[in-house]
Amino acid sequence: MKKMNNVISSLCFKSVNFAYEESKNIFAESISVEFQIGSINVVTGENGCGKSTLLNLPLGIWDNYSGSIYMDKEEVRAFDKEHLRNLVSYAFQMPAIVKDTILNNIAWGKTIEIERIARLVEAINFRDDIESKPQSFHTIIDREALSQGQLQKMEIARVLYTDSPIMIFDEPTSNLDVKSVHALIRLLKEIKHQHLIIIISHDDRIVQEADYKLRL
């Protein structure tokens, strides 16, 4: 199985389609598109058109898609699965939360760097939410302890903290207040030259900031 350096300049889908078991193909036409580092790439389209499915494929969950997916000309199927999941991080619409501290939920098994986490949550307008909790970063939480907006910020913070070369955000602003949306946009603009960023979104505030748009 192949491994790559932690810098990826492009993610290319070439004639890609996919079907769940015996169901028909997700896409009416096979998808060919290339996303580039240095850009805010946005994928839009009607609900149910397959946006999330398409961008789940680089995670290596399924490898029975038709066509090819390349990271810098290396086919994703050839990758070591564990290494692949270090290269791609995905902010899901329904974040996973474990009963543990806020700090551990952000770090998600990685070494905790307090100062870096503090800067990150400040940048996405999450710090006040955290400091309002009884023990700040060390508060034990579960899903019921956070609002929908706070859950979304937790998932965004977790993906940003992984510092993966490819970061995919699935409807990241659906429960965010205006200030937090602008904070996220500002941060993504700052880091887009170091990371390949793809955002699934219907939010006009995100779409209008896109350097590249794909409509499915």
Q: What is the pLDDT along the chain (216 residues), one digit of tens a residue?
A: 455 557 799 999 999 999 988 789 999 899 999 999 999 999 999 988 999 999 999 998 888 999 999 999 899 998 888 888 889 999 998 888 999 999 999 999 999 999 999 999 999 999 999 999 999 999 999 999 999 999 999 999 999 999 999 999 999 999 999 999 999 999 999 999 999 999 999 999 999 999 999 999
The one-letter code for the residue type at 61 is I
Q: What is the largest CA-CA distance in the chain?
A: 52
Tokens of 141: 């939480």
- pLDDT value at residue 84: 87
Q: In this predicted structure, what is the pLDDT of residue 94?
A: 87
According to the model, what pLDDT value does residue 5 have?
58
Q: Could you tell me which residues come within 8 angstroms of residue 44 by beta carbon, excluding any fewer than 6 positions away?
A: 51, 200, 201, 202, 207, 213, 214, 215, 216
- How many C-beta neighbours within 10 Å does residue 127 have? 18
What per-residue confidence (pLDDT) applies to 169?
Answer: 98
Pairing outcome for strands 40-44 and 212-215? parallel
Q: Which CATH superfamily is domain 10-215 in?
A: P-loop containing nucleotide triphosphate hydrolases (3.40.50.300)
Q: Would you list the domain boundaries of the chain?
A: 10-215
Q: What is the pTM of this model?
A: 0.94
